[in-house]
Amino acid sequence: MTLTDLQQKLKDRIRVAASEIFGVELDQLNVDQPPKPELGDLAFPVSFELAKLVKQKTGEKQNPRVIAEQLKARLEDVDEVERVEIAGAGYINVFFDRARLLSLIARPELTGRGPAEDERPKKMVEHTSINPNKAAHIGHVRNAVLGDTFVRILQAAGDRVEVQNYIDNTGVQVADVVIGFIHLQKMDLDQIKALDALLTKDYPFDYYCWDLYTKVGLFYRDGNPSGDISPAQAKLRSDVLHAIEAGDNPVAELADYVATRNVECILDTMERLGIRYDLLARESDILHLHFWERAFELMKQTGVIRYETEGRHAGCWVMPFESHTGTDEHESDKIIVRSNGTVTYTGKDIAYQLWKLGRLGLDFHYNVFRTYRDGHVLWVTTTDAEAETRAGVDRPHFGGGVTVYNVIDSRQSYPQDIVARGVAAVVPEIGDDASVHFSYEMVALSPAACEELGIELSDEDRARPYIEMSGRKGLGVKADDLINQLEAGALAEVEKRNPELADSDKKATAHEVAVAALRYFLLKFTRNTVIAFDFKEALSFEGETGPYCQYAAVRTNSIFRKLGRETVHEADSLLESLAQDAEAQQRVAEVLAGERGTEIWSLLMLTQQLDDVIVQCRKSAEPANLAKYTFSLARTFSRFYHDHRILTEKDVVRRAVLIAVTKVVRARLTAALGILGINVPDQM
């Protein structure tokens, strides 16, 4: 029996009682937590609701407190319930039998649940999807960390998940860097390869491209970063772009090398943070395998788009958009195919989305991109039908998801909405819910952070709350730079605290601490909060941070290291025998009673909320809830740790209780951190 089951049992009792006593059916039944643990373990505000329903039904006005009194006896019957109190204007507060529940909770957890792997509906999560033309910055990392954590949440909740990273290898951003190599650096593919081979770890290929991309931005604008692109350069860009899209020519070959190398660098960055993928879906393959043409047919057949013969959009295929009315300045219809016959980005996105949902009727070919150290294989799409047989590895089936989550920043909400509607219109049976825009706000730079980066600001910018990062302007904090800085800071701390450790262990620990700091920093804000990046805050290891949570978990481990097996065994068997030993049960109840006992008890209750939090995070798609919960568990444990000595505790029963609670905390805290993508080192 878990706490969730117990809650359900109590809810059922209340429903039955409401029906029998008042003749009223409750469709919704809320459970709260009392503001203080002294007020009970669960609170039902149901009496207020009942008073309303009874009044509606009979016209008779009832006092919520009187109603509560009538329900009280029904709940007190339950074995796990010690007593029930009526509080305030009519809250029903339930107090559990603490000793009894402790022995239930302290039992080793049963593993294994849910149906077999392939029977579960598949959820698709697309995240990261960085333009492969430069290094990743912290804004990209927010995307990846949010996506990766959500994947872990879904998996923890028992879902089957497929993780995709979309590679826009034929877009203008790649074209821009290609122009930089060809026209600014005057390099051909062989020279680029030679350069790449010479680049060091401190300044890798994606860093080189980062700087080159900025130069191209200036080149386009004749040296003025905020100027317009000159017509001659625009022509250059468009020619290169077309060559890349067409494929099978030297420019496309060069572009493919550049894009692929950047993807490799970005994947390396992400792996430092524990982020991995199942499939890289490349735009070039979507193009060359004619996904769009198929989608176009489907959209025409279903009447989702229509051909305009007159007006401003004459010659275009448009998708009517009735939700907002157009004004003189702004159109209400979205153009999918331009009058010159080319498809817009939105059109291509609809095709890809249809494939993800298994509704396109076409598939990619696949190749192995890399194999992670633990054997997990990352696949990449290809047009080469033979690639897979050459790979000689079993491939999972890709695509065909029931729900698709696209982790894309909130500025894309308009086009994302159109994609979702377009898809839903083509295949009405799957509905709008199948496409979820997992949106988040950007990471911007605080004015202070800009100054630290040595970026000059205009007076206008200085007055703003934050400054948007820009790859084109080279304005941003590179992910690897920040991770390096975090690792250096953590290493200094580790060296101070654990001088006896081997250098490799120190570095490994510092790495785990750095990952914890960065991931937690990006997860503690809710998705629709703009993060104004601040170095001091991001580099902090104190207070509400990842390392704080880690530290609490490390402490639980060090307690067990020092306790010795016998003592732990003794504690385990004492709690196991509770059901048969009335005297021991009485003693445990005493330990858990009173002010000190309540502190221990409320910590134990908090550990039991993890499953509910996971379920809630899956539903709300909000990883910040889990981050907040994890911090609060770590904080509550830290307090418990200071208030209760375990190693020196002489009272055997009391020590057994403390050990049992610490054990449960260790398991839950480690699990919660794991879902956040944070590991617990042996020491730190």
Partner RNA sequence: GCAGGCGUAGCUCAGUUGGAUAGAGCGUCUGACUUCGAAUCAGAAGGUCGCAGGUUCGAGCCCUGCCGCCUGUACCA
Of 414, 435, 249, 257, nearest to 356 (Cα)? 435
Rule CB under 7 A: say whether 221 interacts with RNA: no
Residue ranges in 326-355 that form contacts with RNA under rule CB under 7 A:
327, 329-331, 335, 338-340, 342, 344-346
Name the one range near RNA by CB under 7 A: 148-156, 368-376, 397-405, 557-565: 557-565
Element (H, E) at 83: strand 81-87
- Which of residues 157 and 161 has its CB atom nearest to RNA in the complex? 157
The single residue among 484, 485, 638, 670 that binds RNA, judged by CB under 7 A, is 638
Q: Quick one: how many helices (H) and strands (E) in the chain?
A: 27, 16
Q: Site residues for RNA, window 13-52 (CB under 7 A)? A: 28, 30-36, 39-40, 43, 45, 48-49, 52
> Cβ of residue 139: shortest distance to RNA, in angstroms?
13
Identified binder of RNA from the candidate list 316, 449, 600, 675, rule CB under 7 A = 316
Contact pick of 363, 537, 572, 611 for RNA (by CB under 7 A): 537
Sheet with 365-371, strands from edge to edge, namely: 365-371, 377-382, 279-282, 160-167, 122-126, 403-409, 435-440
Which residue lies nearer to RNA by CB, 366 or 640? 640
From the CB of residue 319, how many other CB atoms can be counted at a distance below 10 Å?
A: 20
Our CB check for RNA shows the closer of 327 and 580 to be: 327
Round to whole Å and give the CA distance between 465 and 469: 13
Q: Which residue shows structure tokens 């979507």?
A: 286
DSSP summary character for residue 166: E
132 in contact with RNA (CB under 7 A): no
Kindly write down the DSSP assignment for every residue of 4-55, as one continuous string.
Answer: HHHHHHHHHHHHHHIIIII----S----B--SSGGG-SEEE-HHHHHHHHHH
User: Residues 389, 391, 392, 395: is their CA dihedral positive or negative?
Assistant: negative
Is 543 one of the binding residues for RNA (CB under 7 A)?
Answer: yes
- Distances in Å between the Cα of 79 and the Cα atoms of 16, 100, 101, 576, 581 are 17, 9, 10, 18, 17
Least CB distance to RNA at residue 645 (A): 5
- Contact characters 476-505, RNA, x per CB under 7 A: --------------x--xx--xx-------
For RNA, the closer of residues 188 and 433 by Cβ is 433
**Whole-angstrom Cα distance, residue 148 to residue 142?**
10
Q: Pick the stretch among 73-81, 156-164, 168-176, 262-270 that binds RNA (CB under 7 A).
A: 168-176
Please, which residue, 162 or 349, has the CB nearer to RNA? 349
CB of 398 to RNA, least distance (A): 23
Q: Which of residues 645-684 bind RNA (CB under 7 A)?
A: 645-648, 683-684
Query: Least distance (Å) from RNA to the CB of residue 495?
Result: 9
User: Using CB under 7 A, which of 541, 574, 606, 607 touches RNA?
Assistant: 541
473 binding RNA? (CB under 7 A):
no
Six-digit token string for 13: 């009792």
Q: Rule CB under 7 A: choose which of 74, 644, 654, 666 binds RNA.
A: 644
CA distance 316 to 336: 7
* Residue 516: CA count within 13 A, CB half-sphere: 33
Touching RNA, residues 418-447 (CB under 7 A): 441
Q: Which of residues 561-620 bind RNA (CB under 7 A)?
A: 562, 616
| Neighbour count for residue 308 (Cβ, 10 Å) | 16
Binding part of the chain for RNA, among 12-20, 200-208, 476-484, 553-561 by CB under 7 A, reads 553-561
Q: Does 558 bind RNA (CB under 7 A)?
A: yes
Q: Catalogue the E-assigned strands of 288-383.
A: 306-307, 317-319, 334-337, 365-371, 377-382
